[in-house]
Structure 1
């Protein structure tokens, strides 16, 4: 009897569907977009990784630009309320759009979503994607992160996601430190930490032109982190010939460098050895 493919659902917003980059509509036929918008995004990059690793995942996504977890819970419940083996949840980039940095709603909505998914499958494995620092909120005035180090926002978001995971209980298996991986890439010289002053030679900009959403390289790093957490595989095993990187215009040397960053960030739980 053939082994059934593992089912996985990605719930999030533009940071999941890859806005502003080639990731947005990457291989949409390889995944199921539950909203029928032709999105591939980070889930499709993840799917490509699993194919190369010889793993069998049926990947679905439900995304909406600028949306919170509460919106998905209230407006897309009928779409996502199924039995899934794995679920990945990604909150709005500042947690609460009206109160940046406030985790109250994130904690409550994560708990409610975990309850929803556990009712369908008591063994469901849920992960939270802790997102990256936004340079537009760090290098410009008016936000709680203005004037602080570039990695501070990612750390604050991670702490909030940790609180949400704890409140949601054992169904949440991991908080994936994607934002801290961005910081790790900066600390190790792979990425430039300030896109407003240009990109240093030999480094990559992990953000797109709005200094808010990720570039193709940034979404690639996000997918690597999720691949490591979900599959338990070392992302470095994908190697220089990894197919999604080639499809997205990421040079082999940069793909390898980002794979190394993902491995380091995963091994240190986002601390990057510090």
Structure 2
């Protein structure tokens, strides 16, 4: 569990008092961070700094829009490359990211290891080395791992360690790998439960668990057209989890007519359901204070 960033009273005052002191946040990841197979890839790139200068908005841009509506001032940067694990960023992009960030989100390969699916060994080593390096640059940095979702293609269609298992199994295995990585990474504060929020959305009827047999009426499809990456809804749910864990604010406070959801084509009921799934997962892990959701002014 993470230490809360703000006490409940401070959270209320934060919303009432206007913009907070600016904080820097860096997202390091791959296509699951930059939003492949969805409009999220090019979503509002002007509100973030893509350190690779590729014009990407991605999940970091959604995070920026969410926090701006909550009157929080984050300077958001991202460094991403498709299919990479954390050691690649350390070995190939260190000059871009070796700075004293306030917050860092680290997201590794979707199967933990491309060559050995399900094996967290490479994640454990690369994550430790990268997080320790960034922690040295700013010992007060809040560094988190992001545990990602189950891939429908590897559960229902392609040979993998998860084929034929329940759809939530891969996300739980990925989370276990990140938990092991966190245990040896002294600079990492916690693991963001993105994949488990996906599981919860499916378990509660917000999202359809199997895109291969059609999407049930009233449910969202969390996956993109390749049943591997996320849809706009899936990336939005990811951003909501990150928003809640990093800020300590209830995702439900954003409201069903929240701006990013509207701009990405999500209906008010879809936005509400995804916010509730994010909130429930964060609360289940003790990542949100026991505080009534305080609405923020949002919407187009």
TM-score class normalised by the smaller sequence: over 0.9
Is 1:39 the equivalent of 2:56? yes
Aligned partner of 2:40 in structure 1 is 23
* Aligned residues of 1:141 and 1:147 also touching (Cα < 8 A): no
Aligned partner of 1:175 in structure 2 is 191
Q: How many residues are treated as equivalent by the alignment?
A: 268
Structure 1 segment 136-215 matched on structure 2, within 5 A: 136-169=153-186, 171-215=187-231
Of 93, 103, 118, 1:101 maps to 118
* Aligned residues of 2:20 and 2:71 also touching (Cα < 8 A): no
**Which aligned runs of 4 or more in structure 1 are off by greater than 3 angstroms?**
none
Is 1:70 the equivalent of 2:87? yes
Structure 1 unmatched runs, 5+? none
Cα displacement (A) at 1:153? 0.3
Cα displacement (A) at 1:240? 1.5
Cα displacement (A) at 1:269? 2.5
1:163-209 Cα offsets, whole Å, 9 max, x none, are 1011102x211201111111101100011100000101111110011
Q: 2: distance between equivalents of 1:53 and 1:83?
A: 24
Q: 1: distance between equivalents of 2:113 and 2:56?
A: 25
Q: 2: distance between equivalents of 1:138 and 1:112?
A: 31
Q: 2: distance between equivalents of 1:208 and 1:141?
A: 16
Structure 2 unmatched runs, 5+? 1-18, 287-300
Of 111, 124, 137, 1:120 maps to 137
Q: Secondary structure at the match of 2:146?
A: strand
Q: Secondary structure at the match of 1:139?
A: helix
Of 238, 261, 272, 2:277 maps to 261
Aligned partner of 1:129 in structure 2 is 146
Structure 1 segment 207-246 matched on structure 2, within 5 A: 207-246=223-262
